[in-house]
Chain A
Amino acid sequence: MSDTAYFLRLALLLVLQILLLNLFNFSQYLTIFFLPAAILCVPVRRGGIYALAVAFIAGFLTDFFADGMLGLVTCALLPVGYARTWILRWIFGPDFFERGEELSYRRLGFWPVLLALVLATLLFMLIYVWADGAGTRPFWFNLVRVLLSTLVSTALSLFTVSLFTPERQ
């Protein structure tokens, strides 16, 4: 996938994410984010610093336009950008980046991609919920919120991956 195609899709996702955060408030236990999946789908030929830059910009724009605290999403999304290389290497093998493959259900299999999505989303949610609570909320509340949000966000992220790799399907 070219950088332009990626950024167009990312911009669309950002708009959807901001609208979702501003217009829909489902429950205090549920926060939906599909940006971690978008960071996981950064073109494979690009390095870690590129993914970090994308995560920072995407997080900052979301924070800025959504009704939240400035820096919260950025703070949670950056570790996903940093861990992206490790997650993909661990699940798809050490030569994944050398092969230059894109994240695709057809080529890599549904379950490995789902595992990568779960790990990325879980990492994001752990930091997001932890920082959002700032040590004031009970552990069980945070745990339920992390698990529920990860479950729903991962389900939505499955479509996000499809959006980023349409030509392969």
Chain B
Amino acid sequence: MTRGKETGNLILTAAVFILMEVAALVLLSRSATLQNIWINRFSHRVMAMNWRAEENIRGHFRLREQNEQLAAENFALREELRRYQAMDRLEEEQEHLAATKGRFTYIPATVVKMSRNNLHNYIILNKGSEDGVRPYSGIISEQGVVGVVQAVGKRYSYGLTLMNSFLSVSARIGRNGLVAPLVWDGVSTHRAYLKGIPPHVEIPEGETVYTSGFSFVFPPDIPIAVTQGVSREDGATNSIAVRLLQDFSSLRYVTIAQNPSRAQIAELEQRQEKEEES
């Protein structure tokens, strides 16, 4: 007998056996109630096993689809994580602001009007004296320093932006570096200069410039700009070009920072000046 014929015979015999056995089980289940229940239970168990095996096989072939879904979910989770990390950083910055809260109070405001094309640019905010705003308060945003409140109405405030050649801000290079006044270059929307830098001081490019905290207008360590290059101002000092961090074209929401002790400090200064004059 050939191998193929033998295999065929084996399969045929097995098939006939299964058929006859099923017939015998049907006979048995119909002739006795107990056996009927037992066979039904057994057949249900076999069917459950079949379904489980079928489900396993189907699950195996669905792995690729599931992997793709998991990859997409993973990507979404990473995006969310990045968002939370950015929020954490923002919170840290806000905590830093809160650390100066003893000396400064903060009022959120919205930009009503702002000029950008003049030599003396200004900004108008929707908060005034009724909201507690006083002149010579700092205007900052999440990007950095914006300007200084110059005059206050009942509901609105008028301020000078950094893009104003009349405005000078006391700045520090790095967290603990040199302190110098920062003024706008009068032309560019993003360029300013740190004036009066001694020639022997070397300032690396890319260093962040912060508010010094040596005035009662701005709290310390508010970022303003990033250093770019050195240029000779006159024979004795250098100027350092900086790129302003604040993008004035997209500015909409700001925070007004004001020092409640400003009047007391000003009075103290005036008294001292009078004493010196007399």
Seen from chain A, the residues whose Cβ lies within 8 Å of a Cβ on chain B are: 47-49, 52, 55-56, 59-60, 63, 69-72, 74-75, 78-79, 81-82, 85, 131, 134-136
Does B25 sit at the interface, judged by CB under 8 A? yes
Taking the closest CB of chain A, its distance from the CB of B203, in whole angstroms, is 91
- Whether B13 and A49, one on each chain, are in contact in the complex, defined by CB atoms closer than 8 angstroms, is yes
- What residues of chain B lie closer than 8 Å to A63, measured between beta carbons? 27
Q: DSSP class of A's interface residues: helix, strand, loop or mixed?
A: helix
Say yes or no: B31 contacts A71, CB within 8 Å: yes
Asked if B86 CB lies within 8 Å of chain A CBs, one says no
Could you say which residues of chain A place their CB within 8 Å of the CB of B13? Answer: 47-49, 52, 82, 85
Q: Is B49 an interface residue (CB 8 A)?
A: no
Residue of B21, B23, B24, B38 with most chain A CB atoms under a 10 A cut-off: B24
| 15 A–B contacts from the bound complex (CB under 8 Å) | A48-B10, A48-B17, A49-B16, A56-B20, A69-B31, A71-B25, A71-B28, A72-B35, A74-B24, A74-B27, A81-B17, A131-B38, A134-B35, A135-B38, A136-B34
Q: Is the CB of A78 within 8 A of B31?
A: no
Q: How far is the CA of A75 from the CA of B42 in the complex (A)?
A: 15
Q: Which of B14, B28, B37, B41 has the most CB of A within 10 A?
A: B28
Q: Which of A71, A72, A134 contacts B26 (CB 8 A)?
A: A71
User: Given A134-B37, A134-B38, does the pair A49, B28 have CB atoms closer than 8 Å?
Assistant: no
Cβ-defined contact, B9 with A75, below 8 A = no
Which residues of the other chain, A, contact B20 by a CB distance below 8 angstroms? 52, 55-56, 74, 78
Chain B interface main SS type: helix
| Contact among B17, B30, B35 for A78, CB-based, below 8 A | B17
**Do A71 and B34 form a contact, CB below 8 Å, given A49-B16, A82-B13?**
no
- Expressed in whole angstroms, the Cα–Cα distance for A11 and B20 within the complex equals 21
Asked if A72 and B21 make an inter-chain contact with CB atoms under 8 angstroms apart, the answer reads: no
Q: Chain B CB within 10 Å — which of A48, A74, A75, A82 has the most? A: A75
Contact mask for chain B residues 109-152; partner A; CB cutoff 8 A; 1 contact, 0 none: 00000000000000000000000000000000000000000000
Q: How far is the CA of A77 from the CA of B169 in the complex (A)?
A: 105
Measured between beta carbons, the chain B residues less than 8 angstroms from A69 are 28, 31-32, 35
Given known contacts A71-B31, A82-B13, is B38 in contact with A59 (CB within 8 Å)?
no
Say if the beta carbon of B107 comes within 8 Å of chain A.
Answer: no
Q: How far is the CA of A91 from the CA of B20 in the complex (A)?
A: 26
Which residues of chain A come closer than 8 Å to B17, judged between CB atoms?
48, 52, 78-79, 81-82
Closest partner residue, chain A, to B38 (CB atom): A134
Closest residue on chain B to residue A63 by CB atoms = B27
Given contacts A75-B21, A136-B34, 19 further A-B contacts (CB under 8 A): A47-B9, A48-B13, A49-B12, A52-B17, A56-B20, A70-B27, A70-B30, A71-B24, A71-B26, A71-B27, A74-B23, A75-B24, A81-B17, A82-B13, A82-B14, A134-B32, A134-B34, A134-B35, A134-B38
